[in-house]
Structure 1
Amino acid sequence: MTDRVRDSGAAPARGRLGGLLAALLAGGASVFAFSPFGIFPLAVLSLAVLAGLAARESRARGGFALGFAWGLGAFLAGVSWLYVALNRYGGMPMPLAAFAILLFCAYLALFPAAVGALFVRFGRGAAWRRALLFAGLWIGAEVLRGWLFTGFPWLALGYSQTPPSPLAGYFSALGVYGVGGLVAFLGALVALSAWRNARAAAVTLGAILVVCGLGYGLGRVPWTAPTGKPLEVALIQTNIEQGLKWRPELLSDWLDGNARLVREHPADLVVLPETTLPLLADRLPDGYLEELAAPVAARGGDLVFGVFLRDARGAIYNAALSLGASPSQNYAKQHLVPFGEYSPPLFGWFYELVDIPMSDQTRGAPDQPPLRLGDQRVAINICYEDLFGRELIRSLPEATLMLNLSNLAWYGDSFAQPQHLQVARVRAMETGRPMLRSTNTGMTALVQPDGRVADVLPPFTQGALNLSVQGYEGLTPYARWGDSAALLLAVLALVVAGRPRGKTGVGSAI
């Protein structure tokens, strides 16, 4: 009798462990939906596994555990390249760096965990109602992750749906969070529908086709239009290895190398990447900046490059500076990286474990205007600032071009480079503007307003992307509403999902 009791308890325990393992693997598999793999349907299938497992749970804590397992798998697989920055370039010992990444991914996993718990607690009724609940919760969780503690929206699920996904057309209206909500809705609907019932299956398939078809149609709408003359641009990729960049004995090599690349690639607009000059501008050799910009100014063009600026108060900014035919202008990075560019309160001890140059920076003002360069108005964003679409649209409708300066050498040869290019593709579609990217090690590219990558340099090579780019004017719906549209969609989904249930015809079967 005792053995039978033990056996009956062991089976559910094995089932729970199996469910957690399935959620962990499904989360890990979701990374293949993003660049460089681009298997975008996997995002829907990955969430279908999570929703299906959670639907069989009876207690919220079981849903929390499943969501946490899914999130842990997704973030460990997707952003583990942060370990390279801490260990290889930051000097943090291997066990501490691994533990820090584990803790960070565990924190990020709390957001899908909350979705799982709330879905189990409130998910009742027809499949379409529960799918709406799942989608509304997912949008809320991703928006919160992109805002709390300055936000970390990397791998928001909507990023996986760049073209050729039929959902890509929604970026211009709903932004990345709204598209992520649609992925969650479709995934939950696939998992929860009664597929053995032919009529219900037809309704489910019809709903999926409608969502995808509407997205395809939205993608054909020209929300913005060309303006001004095309601009000849040279986007330079310097390819300076991060471990060598800050060595004082090599400084002259980097200064000479930047000047040589500018001379070799003349254009109306020449761009060098983030912090391409690893020194405060006021400590550069006398006459160097004039020498750097001279070849561009001689042909009536402008040079934009990344450099550290210091104001009269002694505050240091990660900035972009323009020199050339147009009046000199600058942009100071607004959204700094915690632990990399500044220390959050009470975390000063972190810098006793790592060695990160220029890690005491000051935020730039939130209302900086676009740079006026010739006939174009160029909105600058630096490195991972382009993950925050709600901040980039502050420069609209004035800006005609978007320009990102980045240095991802901190993360080695990893998923960081292609994932970041995919982020730029989403920002181009949200704003209806071309996104130019000049990076140190990759990926230097031009992204058109429809999200298409017009051209890209191979990562970890030195060179320049010489091309012609057209400015655009006008506003997409996302540029007008920002993330409010996705939040409204989430609220509507939650309200409809929570309405009193009655007879709903075919819908009751699914």
Structure 2
Amino acid sequence: MILRRRTRPTTAPDPALRGTRPSAVGLLGAAVAGALSLLSFEPVGWWPLQFVLLGYFFYQVGMGSSVKRATLLGWAFGFGWSMGGMHWLTIALTRYGGLPAVLSALAIALLGLYMGLFAALAAGLSTWLRKRWSLPVPAFLLMVLPTLWGVSEWMRGWVFTGFPWASSGYAHDTAPLSGFAPIVGVYGIGVLVAVCAGCLTMLTQRRKLPAIGLFAAILAAGWGLKQIVWTHPAGQPITVRLLQGDIPQDEKFSAAHLGDILVRYRDMLTAAPADLIAGPETAIPVFPHQLPPGYLQLFRDYSARTGSFYLFGIPLASDAADYANSVMGIGPQGQSYRYDKHHLVPFGEFIPTGFRWFTNLMNIPLGDFTRGAAVQAPFPVKDQMVLPNICYEDVFGEEIAHNLREEARPATVLLNVSNLAWYGESVAIPQHLQISRMRTLETGRPMLRATNNGATAIIDGRGEVQATIPFYSQGTLAARVQGMAGSTPYIRFGNLLFLAIGALLLAGAWLLGRGRRTAKAQASD
């Protein structure tokens, strides 16, 4: 008998041909990798880590030809990603909502399982298309999987009203890829992040140099685009005073503390004049008819005397059953302005159908607001047009771009008023600041932030934080702000450019697969 020595293959094995089902260790590894994505966002900000984690996930998805295997791995990775990025929601449910810790943990885990379905869809559908189209490894890792990863994040931003917090592109607000934000927005950056991750995964294959070249080219292109200024100064700068009252959340809606809150904001709002004085979300936590006589008139008189304009959060009601989370505006010539929050928070600001039993378990005031219009006019402040957005509305960049695109006199300055005291001393505040920076990059407009306990800040039209107040402290931020006009490609087209590019990538992958199938058919003849 002749013994033949087994030789190793000369090329790296195709990851699609390894394994058929995920092990418990594989699922745990995917979930841990997803959870570690938290480190790529603020306050840690290790954005290169995101390439590595997604690359690991892509490699694991590519290791099996089973659609079921890829789907389960995607679900585990998406679950970990969501739990890492949104774990702070438990603080609102337990500390301030009064929900027992066990039920709070269960609710957030269920939310994570739901969020994980989007990554599962991306992984499972990519693997199905790979088999259906007979795709080569590069087309799968660099075209199909990155595109569907980006589409899954986009879907997460609007399905069932959407919750796009911790979308991958946000980690790159200061990185080279931020140069693409004015063109394709945060979801387009997410696709590019995934392409870069695919390039790292391609290093396990024989042809490494093209992948390294593509990775370097994407980063270089992003850095080059960062040098382009898409918008231009509009009018004269305005002086602003942004207020951070630092009202503890357990006191904010307490009748016992209402008098102290009203005195604090009365004093802060009238401490010194400015072209624009802005207070946070529900700075005044009760309806106008519940205020002491003459309280709002104080601000109207101060505005007329000093020439100051006011914007501050206050709930406003048309009747007992129709009330909104609003921003009130007051001008020195007797101007009145109202902005009503359009994108409401499920369970916190509106009750989804069939879930009143769940919200009844929590002690959250003003929990069923009326939705504002999708397009609302900005507030004229001297030469500038100031458009408010309330709390997590600035997570929805497409809606802000839509308002800028459709409004006859588009805003030159954006203003976010927030109250993140619901989430304690967590990563929610630095992550929200990061999200606001992405909105300035997409629109080329400065963003002012007036918040209850952070991050009160001024961000210019290029995404640079010009000034901020320390978190969890009372204070006022004063500065001069230059408004910006003009349109970025993202304002003009919103997410359509990102979706069109994704469609082209999928079409290109299909053509490559078709060519491969044709070549195989000819070879077999």
Name the TM-score, length of structure 2 as normaliser. Answer: 0.90
Q: Which residue of structure 2 lines up, in the alignment, with residue 421 of structure 1?
A: 433
- Residue 381 of structure 2 is aligned to residue 369 of structure 1: no
| Equivalence for 1:262 | 269
Letter in 1 for 2:187: Y
1:461 aligns with 2:508: no
Amino acid in structure 1 at the alignment position of 2:161: T
Tell me how far apart the structure 1 counterparts of residues 287 and 22 of structure 2 sit (CA, whole Å): 59
8 Å contact from structure 1 (residues 405, 438) kept in 2 = yes
Partner of 1:390: 398
| CA 15–322 in structure 1, closer or farther in 2 if over 3 Å, else same | closer
Asked if the contact 1:296–1:302 (Cα under 8 Å) also holds between the matched residues in 2, the reply is yes
Contact 2:32 2:77 in 1 (8 A): yes
Matches for 1:129-140 after TM superposition, within 5 Å: 129-140=140-151
How far off its partner does 1:298 sit?
A: 2.1
Superposed displacement of residue 162, structure 1: 0.7
Displacement of 1:458 in angstroms is 1.0
**In the TM superposition, what are the counterparts of 1:2-81 in structure 2 within 5 Å?**
16-81=23-88
Q: 1:119, CA displacement in angstroms?
A: 2.3
Q: Which runs of 5+ in 1 are unaligned?
A: 1-11, 505-510
Aligned to 1:3: none
2:212 pairs with 1:205: yes
Gaps of 5+ in 2: 1-18, 518-525
- Compute the displacement of 1:25 (Å): 1.6
Amino acid at match of 2:154: V
Is 1:176 matched with 2:183? no
Deviations 1:204-233 (A, max 9, x none): 111111111111111111110011111110
Matched-pair contact (CA < 8 Å) for 1:51–1:187? yes
Counterpart of 1:219 (choices 218, 226, 236) is: 226
CA contact (8 A) 2:443 2:488 kept: yes
Per the alignment, residue 328 of structure 1 pairs with 336
Tell me the equivalent position of 1:9: none
Which moves more between the two structures, 474-483 or 285-294?
A: 285-294
Q: How far has the Cα of 1:500 moved from its partner?
A: 4.0
Deviations along 1:380-439, one digit per CA (max 9) or x if unpaired, are 100001111111113326111000000011111101101100000000010100010000
By relative contact order (CA 8 Å, sep 6+), the higher-ranking structure is 1
Contact 2:414 2:448 in 1 (8 A): yes
Deviation at 1:292, TM superposition (A): 3.5
The match for 1:190 is 200
CA deviation after TM superposition for structure 1 residue 313, in Å: 7.0
Amino acid at match of 1:475: S
Using the alignment, how far apart are the partners of 1:94 and 1:13 within structure 2?
38
The structural deviation recorded for 1:13 is 10
Q: Which amino acid in the other structure matches residue 333 of structure 1?
A: K
CA contact (8 A) 1:135 1:493 kept: no
Q: 2:94 — aligned with what?
A: 87
Q: Kindly tell me: are residues 126 and 57 of structure 1, through their superposed partners in 2, closer, same or farther at Cα, counting changes over 3 Å?
A: closer
**Closer/same/farther in 2, CA of residues 307 and 17 from structure 1, 3 Å limit:** same
Identify which of 414, 437, 440 aligns with 1:402.
414
Answering whether residue 487 of structure 2 is matched by residue 487 of structure 1, we say: no
Q: Is the 8 A contact 1:51 1:192 kept in 2?
A: no
Distance 1:98 1:436 in 2: 34
**What fraction of aligned residue pairs are identical, expressed as a percent?**
39
Question: TM-score, normalization: structure 1?
Answer: 0.93
Q: Is residue 291 of structure 2 the alignment partner of residue 289 of structure 1? A: no
- How many Å separate the matches in 1 of 2:297 and 2:58? 59
Residue in 2 that maps onto 1:152: 163
What letter is aligned with 1:31? L
Local SS of the residue matching 1:309: strand
Task: Quote the Cα distance in structure 1 between the aligned partners of 2:319 and 2:423.
Answer: 33
Aligned counterpart, 2:424: 412
Task: Indicate the SS of the match to 2:220.
Answer: helix
Question: What is the one-letter code of the residue matched to 1:245?
Answer: K
Q: Which shows bigger deviation, 268-277 or 129-138? A: 129-138
**How many Å separate the matches in 1 of 2:306 and 2:155?**
48
Between the aligned partners of 1:424 and 1:23, the Cα distance in structure 2 is 29
- 1:251 matches 2:261: no
Deviations 1:127-179 (A, max 9, x none): 2443210111112111111110011111111111111x110000000000000
Q: Output the CA distance in 2 between the equivalents of 1:126 and 1:463.
A: 55
Aligned residues: 490
Q: Deviations over 1:418-470 (max 9, x none)?
A: 11000000000101000100000110011111111111111100001111100
Q: Which residue of 2 aligns with 1:5?
A: none
Instruction: Write out aligned runs for 1:98-113 (5 A).
Output: 98-113=105-120
Q: Which amino acid aligns with 1:457?
A: I
Match of 2:508 in 1: 496
Contact 1:112/1:138 (<8 A) preserved: yes
| Aligned partner of residue 446 in structure 1, secondary structure | strand
Partners of 1:96 and 1:110 lie apart in 2 by: 21
- Counterpart secondary structure, 1:229: coil
